[in-house]
Amino acid sequence: MNPLHEEVVEVTRALVRFDTSNAPEAALGRKPGNETGPASYLRDYLAGAGIDCELVARDPDRANLVARIPGTGGAPSLAFVGHTDVVPADPRDWTHPPFDAVVDEGGFLWGRGAIDMKNEVAARAVAMVELARSGFRPRGDLWLIAVADEEDGMADVGMRWLLEARPDIRPDLAINEGGGERLPLPDGRVVQTIGIGEKGTYPVRVVAVGEAGHASTPSVGDNAVPLLGELLRRVGSGMPAPVRSALVDHTLEVLLGEPVTDLDTAVTRAAALHPMLAHSLPALVGTTMAPTLLVGSPKRNVMPARASMELDCRILPGTTEADVEAAVRTRLGSDLAYDLEWPEQLIAGSASPPESDLMTAISSVLAARGDDAALLPMLSTGFTDSVYLRAAGTPTAYGFSPFRSTSAEVLTAGFHNADERVHIDDLLLSVEFHVDLARHLLG
C-alpha cells in the first residue's frame, strides 16, 4: 500500500473502533450514540492539515463535525457528507468482533460501520486532508459534515438540528451515502448506482375491532386477533401496487434502453437483470406497507376487542397522506371492522434531478479514471440525511462512493447485518474519486 492507502485504512479502522451504536436507550442499556468520540478524532486529524474544524452539539456526548476549506469565489460550494453513528451489532453473530476493525488476509476490513458508513466518512476526510496538504484552494467552499443520530433520529441531535441551528451551512451540492454498487448486466453492460433521492415514511396502525370475551369460550364475543390475522393476510408482505413515477421511469429507461410503456412489464424485465434489482425495483414503484409491530391481548385468557399491527409505509416523493390512506384501505377492503391510526407525521420523500452538473462531473471523473460503468440514477428505499439537506436548500444531493473490489452482494448484505465489511482497495478508490471530484468542480 502507498502512504495514502495506509492513511485511509488507519482512519477507517480508528472510526470503526468507536462503538457509536444508536438505538433507543432501553434497547442498548446505555445512552445511544456517543458520536463525540469519532467527531473529536476527525477534528484533530483534519486540524493537523490546517483545516478549519468545529464540533457543533446539542448534546455534548453527540457532537457533529463541521469542517471547511473556504472558497475564493466563482464556483458552487460542495459538501462531503456522512454520519458517525451505527446500528447495534451482536458479537455472537460475527466472524470477527464488530468493533475490532480486523483486516483479513483477503484485504477486507470487518466491522460495524465498514459499509454504513464510516468507510465513506473516512475516505472523505482523507480526501479533504490530501487536498489541503497539496495547497488546493477551491473556488467554492468545500465542506465536510459528519453528523450524529442518522440511524435513529429520535434524539434530534444530527443533521436536521444542525441545519436549523446553523443557517450558514448551506452547500449548493452534496455527496452523501446511497450508491456506488457495480452491477454487471446480462447484456455485457455494467451500471453503477447513484442515489438521487429517498422514499419518505408515513406509518399506519391498523386496529381490528371486535368484541372482548373469555378465552375459554371462543365462540362468545368476537376475538379481534383472528380479524387482525385476516387483515394481515390481505396486507401480505407489503409490496406496493405499482404507480407511475417519473423518477422510477428514468431508472427503468436507463436499464432497458427504451421508454416505459407498461410499468409492470418494465419492472419485471429490469428486475431480472441483476439479483440486487430484483429486490429494490419492485419496492420502488409505489407505497410499501410492511407489517412489523403486532399487539393483541394483554392477558392470555382474554380475547381482546382490539388488536393492531403497524405498517411501515415507505412512500414515493409527492405522495400525500390521502394517497397512503387510500392505498391501505384498498388493500384491506371494506368488509371487516377496523380503524386506522397515524402514530407519526408524514416525512416526505425527496429527490434531486437525475440530470445536473454534479451528475456530469461524477461521470467525467469516473471516465477519466478508466471506469466504463454507466451511472444508474435510483431512488433509495431507505432514508438518508440528504432529505434534510434538500429541505434546507441544497437542491442537488446525491449518494455515491465508487466500489470495485467489494461486490454488490457483499455491500447489500452488510447493511445493518452481521459480518459487514469493505475491501480496503475501495477505501483508496473513494479517496482518489473525491479528490478528483473536488478539483473538477471547484478547481
Task: Give catalytic residue positions.
Answer: 85, 150
Q: How many CB atoms lie within 10 A of CB 291?
A: 17
Which H/E stretch holds residue 245?
none
Cell numbers representing residue 219 in the block: 365462540
Write the DSSP string, 28-90. Answer: HTS-S--THHHHHHHHHHHHTTT-EEEEE-SSTTSPEEEEEE---SSS--EEEEEE--B----
Cell numbers representing residue 429 in the block: 478508490
Q: Amino acid letter at 380?
A: S
Which residues neighbour 206 within 8 Å (Cβ) at sequence distance 6 or greater? 228, 231, 235, 308, 309, 310, 311, 328, 332, 338, 339, 340
- As a whole number of angstroms, the distance between CA 221 and CA 289 comes to 30
Short-list 281, 81, 318, 108, CA closest to 193: 281
The CA-atom distances, in angstroms, between 158 and each of 153, 254, 387, 437 are 7, 35, 13, 26
Specify which residues 183 forms β-bridges with: 191
Omega before 117 within 30 of 0, i.e. cis: yes
Q: What angle do CA 343, 344, 349 make, to 5 degrees?
A: 140
Which residues neighbour 7 within 8 Å (Cβ) at sequence distance 6 or greater? 126
Q: How many CB atoms lie within 10 A of CB 105?
A: 5
Phi, psi torsion values for 163, nearest 5 degrees: -70, -30
